Structure 1
Amino acid sequence: MNGHRTEELVIVGGGLAGASAACILGREGRSVLLLERDVGARHKVCGEFLSVEAQTYLARLGIDLDALGASRISHLRLYHRGKKAEAELPFLARGLSRKILDEALLEKAISHGAQIMRGVTVRSITADERASWVDAGSLGRVRAETLFLASGKHDVRGAKRPISGSINDLIGFKMHYRLSEQQRTALDGAIEVILFDEGYAGLQLIEGGVANLCLVVSQRGFEQAGKSWDSLVNQVTRECPPVADRLRNAIALFERPFSIFQIPYGFVHHPDWTEPGGLFRLGDQMGVIPSFTGEGMSMALHSGYIAASMFLRNGRASTDFHRKMAANVRQQIRLAFLLNKAARFGPGQAVLFHLCRTWPSLMRQVAAFTRIRVGSIHKTAALS
C-alpha cells in the first residue's frame, strides 16, 4: 500500500498503561512510537489513589513520588447516612493527580528513546496475524508489527471490547477543590469513601494539598438527582453531613467537572482463537475494576509492565499475555464487581456499612483481597 509508514512497535494511548510499556520497551532499546490524542497534559476522571503495588511499579520505572509532591494516605473512612466506620489501611498509599503522573511517565519514556506523537486521534484498527493497521487521522495509516492498545475506557473502531455482563450504566465525575485549612487538616492522611443513593464517592488529598472528589453514580441516580453536577453534590452532602463540612467554603478548581459515561466495571478480556497475534490490550482495554477499590492505577501499570516484559521474552504472543493478565486480575475484579453491585443500592449499602462498622478489619481485608498479588509482581519482575 502507498502512503503509509511501518513501525516495529506502536502504542495507542499515553496513560499509565501505555506510558509504562513505552518506558520498558524504550529502556531495552526497542523502537517505540506512542500515539496520544491529547496535545498536552490534562486531567482525567480517576480516583488518583496509588496503592503499594502501583508505587512498586513506579519506583521500578524511576518515578519519584516525593519529588512530584504525592500525598500520604494511611486511613480509610467509610460514611453512610452521616455515620462513620474507620480503619487503618494495610499499606501506606499515595495521592497524585493523573495530570502530573502521566506526564512524568511520558517524559521518562522519551528519556528512554520512545517517540511520542501528541494530538493524534486513532480512528480505527484492523489486524491480522502479520501486523496491525492503525488509521491515525492526520498522521495517515501506520503499519505496526506489534500493537499495544492502551486507549483507556475509550474503544477504537475495529478493536472494541465485548463488554456484555459488565455494569455499564454508570457515570463517573471528578472535581478538584481547594479546601479550607481546617478541613484540609481533617482530611490529611485519609481517604474518605461515601455511600449515597445509587452511587458512591471518594475524597482524598493529592499534591499541593488539593482535594480530589471522584464520584460514580448510576444513570438513573443522576437523573433522579436533577441531571446536574451541583444537584448531585447537594444530594451527597445532604446524605452525608461530614462531606458537607469538607466542602463548605471550598473553591472548585475546574469550571465544570470531568466526566465519563458507561464505565464497563467488571469487564475482563478473554482471548479466543479468532484474536490476531501481536495486539496487546493494556489497562482498561484488558480489565476494568470498580474504582472504589483504589486498584485501577495499579492494574494499568501492571498490564503495561507485564505486556512489555512478555513481548521482550516471547515476541508477538499476545494471547499468552492476555491469559496471564486475566489470571492475575480475574478474582480481584470479580470480588470488586460484586461489592460494587451491593454498594450501589440502599439495602446493600446498609449491610455493607454495618459489617464494616462492626468489624473494621473487614475494610482492611477487602483492601487486601482486591489488590494485585505480590507474587504476580515478583513474577513480572523476573520476566524483564
Structure 2
Amino acid sequence: MYDVIVIGGGLAGLVSALELTRSGWSVVLVERKTYPFHKVCGEYVSNEVRPYIESLGVDLNGLGAVNINRFQFSSPSGRLLEATLDLGGFGISRYALDYALYQLALEAGVTFRLGRQAESVTFQEDGFSVALNDTETLHSRLVIGAFGKRSKLDRQMNRAFMQQPSPYIGVKYHIRAGLPDHGMPDHRVSERGMLEHPFPTDVIALHNFPDGYCGMSAIEDDKYCLCYLTTRRNLRQFGNIADMERAILYQNPHLKRVFETYEFLYDKPEVINEISFAPKKAVEDHILMAGDSAGLITPLCGNGMAMAIHGARLVSQVANLFLNGQLSRPQLEAQYQTAWSGLFARRLWVGRNVQRLFGDAWLSEWAVTLIRTFPPLLQTIMRQTHGEVIAATPVSPLPS
C-alpha cells in the first residue's frame, strides 16, 4: 500500500514523485520506458520555472542548458520576424533533464516500476488499485496521472478528447551544424529578410510551412532540437516522412537550408500521432491529472515543459494537504481543478486561438504583416502564454 501512485515518468510525473517523497510520503512511479529516453518535445523551457527546478537539485549549467532570450518567427515564404523574450528560457533535451530528475528521485527514495505499463485504474472504498501489464497490482490512497498526450488509460477512461480525432502528428530530431558552410562568426539576416546560418544559440525559432510549423532551438553538447507539428493528411499524401519533408517543409527556405546542411543525429525521428489540443479535465475518475494529461498547449506557444513542471508543483501541494488530512477527497479534487484552471486555462485558450493563424499559408503571411505593423502584438501574445517566476521552495500548503 503506497500513499501515491504516479503513472507516467515525464517531467510532471518525476517532479511530483520527487516532491511528495521528500515530503515523507511513499510513492511508486510507473513508466513504460527505461531512462534515459527521447520524447517528442520542443525542449525549450521558460525561465518561469528555472529557480524552482534548480532548487530541486537539478544542475542545469552542469547539464549544458543553453540560455535563450530571443524569438524568431518565419512565414511559409520565409519572411522573418524577431523579438526579445521578456523572461527568456533555456534549451535542454528531455533525454538529459528527465534522467537528472530520475536520479534525484531514486536518491530521494521513489520506488520505480520501469518498463511496465498501467493497464487499468480502479477507485473503490476511497482507495485505488492499479493493474500493471505483468499481473502486479499496486494500491494507494492517491493516483496522479502524468501519462502524457495520449495513452491507453485515456482510452479506457473514455475521456472526452479521445472522442475527437486529431489530425496532428509530431516529429522530432536532434541535429548539429557540422558542415563546411558553417564557418560564419555570427548570424546575419540578409536584405531579403532571410536568416543566414549558423543558427544562433540564444534564439528559439518557429518556422511555418503549409499545414504546420517547426521549432528549432539549441540544447546541450552543441546540438539543436528540431521539432515540428503537421497533419496526417500531409504524411498520407507523400507516403513517408522524408518525402513529405522535401515536398512540404522545404517550401520554407529556412527549413530547406537546415535540412540540407545540418547533420541529423537520429537514424529515424521520434514520432507521435493524434496530438490533441482539445480541453481536458484536471480531475478524471478521482485521478489528479498533471502535465499533458491535464491539458496540452500548442507547440506554437513553446511552453509545455514549464507548464508540466509548474503543474507538478501544484499537484504536489494539494496532494500533500490531502495526505496530511487537511482536505477531504471532494475538497482535494475541487481545489485542484480550480487552481489548475486559474493557472493554465487562459494560456491554453490563447494557444488554441493563436494556432488558427498559423499553418495556413495565407493566414501566416497575413499574421506576419500584422505583427510587423503592430510589433507589441507579438510580445502581448507571448506574455499571455507564459506565467510568473515560481518560488524556489519545496511544496507547501496553497495560499488561502
**Do they fold alike, i.e. is TM over 0.5?**
yes
Retained in 2: the 8 A contact 1:178–1:210?
yes
Distance 2:235 2:394 in 1: 41
Among all aligned residue pairs of Structure 1 and Structure 2, give the percentage whose two residues are the same amino acid: 25
Aligned equivalents of 2:63 and 2:375: distance in 1? 32
1:130 pairs with one of 106, 126, 132: 126
Conserved in 1, the CA contact under 8 Å of 2:11 and 2:305? yes
User: Of 271, 287, 303, which aligns to 2:311?
Assistant: 303
1:256 to 2:268 alignment? yes
Aligned with 1:150 (options 142, 146, 149): 146
On the 8 A contact 2:13/2:146 being kept in 1, the answer is: yes
> For the residues of structure 2 that align with 1:130 and 1:329, how far apart are their CA atoms?
28
Q: Is the 8 A contact 2:52 2:393 kept in 1?
A: no
Q: For the residues of structure 1 that align with 2:282 and 2:11, how far apart are their CA atoms?
A: 22
Residue 211 of structure 1 corresponds to which residue in structure 2? 224
Looking at structure 1, the residues matched to 271 and 236 of structure 2 have their Cα atoms a distance apart, in angstroms, of 15
Look up the match of 2:298: 290
- Aligned position for 1:3: none
Give the deviation of 1:24 after TM superposition.
0.6
| Residues 239-248 or 113-122, more deviating | 239-248
Secondary structure of 1:208 counterpart: coil
Aligned residue among 98, 104, 115 for 2:111: 115
- Distance change in 2, residues 1:46/1:341 (3 Å): same
Question: 2:235 matched to which residue of 1?
Answer: 222
Say if 1:268 and 1:326, in contact at 8 Å, map to a contact too.
no
Moved more, 112-121 or 45-54: 112-121
CA distance in 2, matches of 1:378, 1:162: 35
Could you tell me whether the CA contact under 8 Å between 2:209 and 2:249 is conserved in 1? no
**Which residue number in structure 1 is paired with residue 280 of structure 2?**
268
TM-score scaled by length of structure 2: 0.87
* Kept in 1: contact 2:175–2:265 (CA 8 A): yes
Aligned to 1:159: 157
Corresponding position of 1:173 = 171
Distance 1:66 1:44, change over 3 A: same
How much has 1:323 moved relative to structure 2? Answer: 2.4
CA contact (8 A) 1:86 1:360 kept: no
Count of residue correspondences = 373
Distance in 1 (alpha carbons) for counterparts of 2:249 and 2:44: 22
Residue identity opposite 1:64 in structure 2: D
Tell me which residue corresponds to 2:378: 363
RMSD over aligned Cα atoms? 2.3
- Greater CA drift, 46-55 or 228-237: 228-237
Q: 2: CA distance between counterparts of 1:165 and 1:377?
A: 38
Paired letter, 2:31? E
Distance, in Å, in 1 between the alignment partners of 2:201 and 2:392 is: 32
Q: Which position in structure 1 is the counterpart of 2:79?
A: 83
Q: Deviations over 1:302-326 (max 9, x none)?
A: 1211111111123342332122102
Whether the 8 Å CA contact 1:191–1:204 is kept in 2: the answer is: yes
Q: Residue in 2 aligned with 1:199?
A: 212
Among 332, 335, 345, the residue aligned to 1:330: 345
SS of the aligned residue for 1:349 comes to: helix
Distance 1:166 1:322, change over 3 A: farther
| Displacement of 1:292 | 1.6
Stretch deviating more after TM superposition (161-170 or 29-38): 161-170
Q: 1:42 and 2:66 equivalent?
A: no
Specify the SS of the correspondent of 1:138. Answer: coil
Deviation at 1:160, TM superposition (A): 4.5
Paired residue secondary structure (2:140): strand
1:113 CA drift (Å):
1.5
**Offset at residue 377 of structure 1 (A):** 6.3
Deviation at 1:43, TM superposition (A): 0.4
1:255 CA displacement = 0.9
Cα deviation for residue 230 of structure 1 reads 1.4
Q: Equivalent residue for 1:51?
A: 46
Distance 1:197 1:308 in 2: 41
Offset of residue 139 of structure 1: 5.2
**Which residue of 3, 17, 21 maps to 1:22?**
17
CA gap 1:378/1:320 in 2 versus in 1, 3 angstroms: farther
- The aligned amino acid for 2:397 is L
CA distance in structure 2 between the aligned counterparts of 1:308 and 1:22, rounded to whole angstroms: 8
What residue ranges of structure 1 are gaps of 5+ in the alignment?
A: 1-5
Letter in 1 for 2:372: R
Give the secondary-structure state (helix, strand or coil) at the position aligned to 1:66: helix
Deviates more, 1:45-54 or 1:108-117: 108-117
Distance 2:371 2:262 in 1: 29
In 2 relative to 1, CA 198–377 (structure 1 residues): closer, same or farther, beyond 3 Å? farther
